[in-house]
Structure 1
């Protein structure tokens, strides 16, 4: 997965507003909630809290 650095600079976790970091095919919140958001096969992040999974799940 390739997400441009400028896009990561403007994206934030919709749950806690923490920064997001890429990890495999997901974006992981580095803030207090730690939620993990999926990225589609086309490279589009799905930043819906209902679609995110809890850390370690």
Structure 2
């Protein structure tokens, strides 16, 4: 695999999330607003201490899929 293939794969994983979607999404646990971490492709719930992944531009808002921020 070439460097170009790797870069294209990374770019595909970092699809932008629709800004209007980001405005209406809330944490499924606390119902509070989320912070978008573009670099890690996650939506962060500071209150719940969870990071919800974004895959192929789609936020995965399932608590079973979320990463705990307490592990950091």
Pairwise same-fold verdict (TM > 0.5): yes
Into which bin does the TM-score normalised by the smaller protein fall? Answer: 0.7 to 0.9
Number of aligned positions between the proteins: 55
Deviation of 1:5 after TM superposition, in Å, equals: 2.5
Task: Point out where structure 2 has 5 or more consecutive residues left out of the alignment.
Answer: 1-13
Q: What pairs with 1:4-19 in structure 2 (closer than 5 Å)?
A: 4-19=18-33
Structure with greater proportional helix content:
2
Task: Point out where structure 1 has 5 or more consecutive residues left out of the alignment.
Answer: none
Q: Does 1:37 align with 2:48?
A: no
* 1:52 matched residue in structure 2: 66
Q: Give the structure with higher Rg (CA).
A: 2
TM-score (norm 1): 0.79
Q: Give the aligned CA root-mean-square deviation in angstroms.
A: 1.4
